[in-house]
Chains A and B, each alone.
Chain A
Amino acid sequence: AQSVTQLGSHVSVSEGALVLLRCNYSSSVPPYLFWYVQYPNQGLQLLLKYTSAATLVKGINGFEAEFKKSETSFHLTKPSAHMSDAAEYFCAVRASLGGSYIPTFGRGTSLIVHP
């Protein structure tokens, strides 16, 4: 069984401020973890993924996330927010090789960036 909890349905930051989107997961087997971004009326775009290699994962658009097994967390960060970062962000978990390959998505966090 696997699940994802994204804390905060909305996160509001000022342009240039640190972005922190929280994701906690549970999984009965070693997980793969993903962050996706969705712009209005568009599909999902992969930001980054953890697949059991380095625990600090760098993605596109300056985002990164750190896998912390002891905290069962995979929080997404970006040092300086841009207006173009305003979007919906989804964390997802799935089993690593050998388990179910179907990911479970969190409920999403809407990132609002103020000028």
Chain B
Amino acid sequence: GAVVSQHPSRVICKSGTSVKIECRSLDFQATTMFWYRQFPKQSLMLMATSNEGSKATYEQGVEKDKFLINHASLTLSTLTVTSAHPEDSSFYICSASTDRGRYEQYFGPGTRLTVT
């Protein structure tokens, strides 16, 4: 089956620093990757959709200058949280799909970000 990995699985960073999270599709080419944020005991909130080679499309209310998304290849997308603050602490999950999400999304295992 399709496998999506995320790295790191957990990261702790100091307030004001930036942190990069990688999302990789290991055995398929992902034309589209999605980035979600999940608060404790809550559902997934879509942050942005990125298509390979294009700029990401951000959901309303998500700061694109704070959450930088790059989808430079068909197997890798990165989310960089810039100038992190404690309120950015959350669980970030990516998913990947072929054909712009027409079919199934495959989810990564998530990254727990803690900003101190």
Contacts and interface: CB of A to CB of B under 8 A. Distances in A.
B35 to A, nearest CB: 12
A43 B6 CA distance: 10
B42 A42 contact: no
Given A42-B110, A102-B46, 9 more contacts: A43-B4, A43-B6, A44-B107, A45-B107, A49-B104, A101-B101, A102-B34, A106-B43, A110-B41
Most buried by B among A43, A46, A101: A43
Contact of A101 (B41, B102, B109): B102
B42 to A, nearest CB: 7
A58 interface: no
Contacts of A102: 34, 46, 49, 101
Q: How large is the interface on A (under 10, 10 to 19, 20 to 34, 35 or more residues)?
A: 10 to 19
Q: How large is the interface on B (under 10, 10 to 19, 20 to 34, 35 or more residues)?
A: 20 to 34
Contacts of A41: 91, 110, 112
Contact of B93 (A44, A101, A103, A107): A44
A90 B101 contact: no
Interface string B80-93: 00000000000101
14 contacts: A43-B6, A43-B93, A43-B107, A43-B109, A43-B110, A46-B107, A90-B43, A101-B97, A102-B46, A102-B49, A102-B101, A106-B43, A107-B42, A108-B43
B26 interface: no
